[in-house]
Structure 1
Amino acid sequence: MPPSANGPAAPPGGTTQRITQRIVAFAVLVALLALPSGVWARTAPETFADLAEQLLPSVVNISTTQTVEGNAGIELPTLPPGSPFEEFFKEFLDKNQPRAQKRKATSLGSGFIVDDKGHVVTNNHVIQDADEITIILQDETRLPATIVGRDSKTDMAVLKVDPGKAKLPAVKFGDSDAIRVGDWVIAIGNPFGFGGTVTSGIISARGRDINAGPYDDFLQTDAPINRGNSGGPIFDLAGEVIGIATAIFSPSGGSIGIGFAIPANSARPVIQQLIEHGEVKRGWLGVRIQSVNEEIAEALGLKEPVGALVAGVIPGGPAEKAKIKDGDVILEFDGKPITQMRRLPRLVADTEVGKVVPLKVWRDGKEISLKVEVAVLDEHEEKAANTTKAPEKAMGSESIAGLGLSVAGIDDKARERFDLPDDAKGVVITSIDPAGPAADQSLHPGDLIVELGQEEVKSPAELAEKVKVAKESGRKSVLLLVEGQGGLRFVAIRLPAKG
């Protein structure tokens, strides 16, 4: 067709469609690139080979030898109870049983090099009670190791080897706080003695408490780790250590995809102190604390159950000097929010001794600011934190219907019946209504109610009056300070509706 007199012919329909598609595709690409980086899902790497090749020389096998007494011996056959042969076999075995002999037992674990001076990090349980420790490098070089320091509370240990003229490749620590659930990780270790084993997986969870110690804050991973992996590193995709393999959950003893690692940010200060001092000096606040549940939060006027409730202040400790009181809720420590009670001990322990730290505390329905100088924790102070002064004299006995319990004054009869100390104060619980509101609060006869609403209780009549006032004022619950076998603790009891 000849060109139009008014200009060139329009392009074919197919060309116009392709141009439109490209414009739309470009616009979509621009829009996607404008999204926050967190929106993009990280795809699995094609291979971990380059990363493994780079990191393997920094991971070591740890072989320990321990001298133990014992022998295989001869076992007594299984006999029916009262069998006449029982004494015969027992006498025979006593005469012919070989004498106990000393023998050497070996065990294996993992570790990793942290500097060019020959320091190696592992778990304390890997080298505990060992008489001899040998570090085995990737090239099978065997080096005797000595213990620089160890810490049973975090299950960490630092060893030292003399590398001679050899250069030891050290790893770098990453930021474990930045690792997210779902991020890829690789584990390298010595499972069942098969050294230099690399496995991969993701971070399955954070902040796990597995009751291994007072500072539990484990990363959970599904990267297969087994016996022998203990003490080995968990790496992120940047090749930095973000965790130290420590434990597995397994009914069979083998990996089922639930492994736990000490976060690097928790391990790093411990390792540094062990290298510098051979021991760990932890911060100490001098308080006994407990969790804040919904009832306690409501009784204290908190919008949500957060923070650490101070159930006791150790006399002469940093908290007492900082004017922290029983019943305070610590909401923030050194600028870090206390979302859960168990977060506070870890933060305090990791704080430099002597440092003055700002606190935010909830008291009398409002937030106040304090400052505390962190002291050093020692065994005596740690034990004191788990004990309390025994809680004056009161009289009479009364059933407190609003609480679902009965109490009595502290007299000689009560002291004898419940084995109370001479300086006990408050009122003593004599019975608890199984259908009452106190029944679900783990209270027991013999426990002492020392305070209600952070005011002293001196007699059953006074306790009953305080409960009555709380009900008439529309309070939904009351907060008791109770002294039991476990020491002082706060208990919130929901009051029955008025009617």
Structure 2
Amino acid sequence: MLNRLFFGVLIYYASAFAAAHAQLPDFTEMVKTNGDAVVNISTTQKSTDPQADGDQQPIPQDVPPEMEELFRRFFQGPGRGYTPRETNSLGSGFIISRDGYLLTNHHVVNNASEIVVKLKDRRELIAKLIGSDESTDVALLKVDAKDLPVVEIGAPEQLQVGEWVLAIGTPFGFDQSVTAGIVSAKGRSLPDGNYVPFIQTDVAINPGNSGGPLFNMQGKVVGINSQIYSRSGGYMGLSFAIPIDVAMNVVEQIKSKGKVSRGWLGVQIQDVNRQLAESFGMDRPHGALVAKVVPGGPAEKAGLQIGDIIVEFNGHVIETSGELPPRVGVTPIDEKAKVKIIRHGEQQDISVKIGLLPAQNTAALSNAPTAAETQINRLGIVVADLTSEQRQQAQVEKNGVLVQKVNKGIALDAGIQPGDIILRIQNTVIRDSADFNSVITKLPAEKSIAVLVQRNGNPVFLAFKIDK
């Protein structure tokens, strides 16, 4: 009886293990099919000391490479020049055409004097940089070769959170390393990636994986591994990939025009939190709140106003402000876009003719200063004089300065936001940016200061204290 029970339990657990094992994905065929198209990329850059301005004591030939920096610090000293030297870096890439076009990250090949592509069959080819785009961190390379193995391009919009994905790359210089995980989230907005709705995964990505492909379970590339979130410099379960459709849009523009152009709406936006949603009569926080309308920009010409909340762009629902810049960026220049907004609690449809993002300011979608902009001050904010159009939109007849940017510090902690209009500091009326600068230089330290701001048409008092 006991033997029969023992064997019954054994069979049960064996069956359960087999069933669980059967549900785990098998990546072996995918790696065999796609591994040949994944390459190692090594670059050489010229490195110079920014303080180089004089003679230097030469580094003895017998000093080991790892001791060179120590020698410079103690024997050459600050302010002394040093001979430019070559540095090397490693990354990954993948071939997208049989005649030698391949993709990697912009930061992998940026400022490289030489780019060497090493294939799985050990061939090493010199690559030419066809073009790159810093905003999306995508670079297009070309090697002189034919009949190369290529990857198949997939559709990132069909990815689902929880789906298995696989990466092949060169972490820490280890060629053809394979790691797997799941899609953790989609459409992530990162501080330095305004135009990229990143794919977040828990795939183990480390230095050297940058530029390598991210595959779905059909063996198609859905992203380019680009960034990790880490406090140690290594893998911590937060990896981010550029959707391949974003990258291929960059490729097409580089090939056809030699550069990348982006659509521009001409607004400064921010997220809608719970308190703001209530103040606007919304049932829940969503959309992109327009905190500033750039004078003369597409949004102003179309009639968008400060305080409008963009909830839909060209049929795509906008849940957070970070979702808007990528949508606008890929919209063709001079094309009319349908924008759904909430204004004064009611929905309206507006048609906006998309403009060209100014080349001198790639962050113009979210931060576009005017000519009257002041410098960062002791409050850590940038303000500008109000134009007549902005006064009309904000219903401010006179006085006040527009907050354009808020850095970490006193003002941010106090709750001051871009788009606020500062009307009064303590009992002093603020007439313009010059007046503002004069007043804040005289503010006492370690004393609570009241500031009256107008936000979305409503006056509100805030308080801050300046440290010594």
TM-score normalised according to structure 2 size = 0.71
How far is 1:114 from its partner? 1.1
- Structure 1 residue runs of 5 or longer lacking an equivalent are 1-41, 79-89, 396-403, 422-428, 435-443, 455-477, 483-499
Pick from 356, 369, 383: which aligns with 1:376?
356
Does residue 156 of structure 1 match 2:135?
no
Pick from 335, 350, 358: which aligns with 2:315?
335
1:67-466 equivalences in 2 (<5 Å)? 67-69=46-48, 72-73=67-68, 75=70, 93=75, 100-163=82-145, 166-380=146-360, 385-388=367-370, 389-391=384-386, 393=398, 408-410=428-430, 416=435, 418-419=437-438, 449=453, 451=454, 454=457
The aligned amino acid for 1:250 is S
How far is 1:267 from its partner? 2.4
What's the CA shift string for 1:81-139, capped at 9, x where partnerless? xxxxxxxxx7xx469xx994443322211001112232110001111111000111111
Q: Would the aligned equivalents of 1:120 and 1:160 in 2 still touch at CA under 8 Å? A: yes
Q: Would the aligned equivalents of 1:307 and 1:340 in 2 still touch at CA under 8 Å? A: yes
Report SS of the residue matched to 2:162. coil
Aligned to 2:29: 50
Residues 140 and 368 (structure 1), Cα distance of their counterparts in 2 relative to 1, 3 Å cut = same
The aligned amino acid for 2:108 is V
Report SS of the residue matched to 1:177. helix
Residues 184 and 405 (structure 1), Cα distance of their counterparts in 2 relative to 1, 3 Å cut = same
Q: Would the aligned equivalents of 2:189 and 2:323 in 1 still touch at CA under 8 Å? A: no
Query: Following the alignment from structure 2 to structure 1, what is the Cα–Cα distance between the partners of residues 139 and 294?
Result: 31
Residues 243 and 77 (structure 1), Cα distance of their counterparts in 2 relative to 1, 3 Å cut = closer
Q: Would the aligned equivalents of 2:222 and 2:244 in 1 still touch at CA under 8 Å? A: yes
CA RMSD in angstroms comes to 3.6
Query: Following the alignment from structure 1 to structure 2, what is the Cα–Cα distance between the partners of residues 147 and 364?
Result: 50
Report SS of the residue matched to 1:311. strand
Task: Report which stretch shifted further, 311-320 or 211-220.
Answer: 211-220
Query: Following the alignment from structure 1 to structure 2, what is the Cα–Cα distance between the partners of residues 420 and 292?
Result: 31
Residues 386 and 452 (structure 1), Cα distance of their counterparts in 2 relative to 1, 3 Å cut = closer
Query: Following the alignment from structure 1 to structure 2, what is the Cα–Cα distance between the partners of residues 268 and 300?
Result: 39
Residues 145 and 382 (structure 1), Cα distance of their counterparts in 2 relative to 1, 3 Å cut = closer
TM-score normalised according to structure 1 size = 0.67
Report SS of the residue matched to 1:419. helix
Query: Following the alignment from structure 2 to structure 1, what is the Cα–Cα distance between the partners of residues 98 and 265?
Result: 36
How far is 1:354 from its partner? 1.5
Aligned to 1:465: none
Rg larger for: 1
Task: Report which stretch shifted further, 247-256 or 344-353.
Answer: 247-256
Residues 101 and 452 (structure 1), Cα distance of their counterparts in 2 relative to 1, 3 Å cut = closer
How far is 1:275 from its partner? 2.8
How far is 1:76 from its partner? 7.4
Task: Report which stretch shifted further, 285-294 or 267-276.
Answer: 267-276
Q: Would the aligned equivalents of 1:125 and 1:155 in 2 still touch at CA under 8 Å? A: yes
Report SS of the residue matched to 1:342. helix
Aligned pair count reads 374
Structure 1 runs of 4+ off > 6 angstroms? 479-482
The aligned amino acid for 1:305 is P
Query: Following the alignment from structure 1 to structure 2, what is the Cα–Cα distance between the partners of residues 288 and 210?
Result: 17
Query: Following the alignment from structure 1 to structure 2, what is the Cα–Cα distance between the partners of residues 411 and 73?
Result: 57
- The percent identity for this pair of structures is 40
Q: Would the aligned equivalents of 1:150 and 1:278 in 2 still touch at CA under 8 Å? A: no
Query: Following the alignment from structure 1 to structure 2, what is the Cα–Cα distance between the partners of residues 134 and 339?
Result: 42
The aligned amino acid for 1:62 is I
How far is 1:331 from its partner? 1.2
Residues 394 and 257 (structure 1), Cα distance of their counterparts in 2 relative to 1, 3 Å cut = closer
Residues 361 and 48 (structure 1), Cα distance of their counterparts in 2 relative to 1, 3 Å cut = same
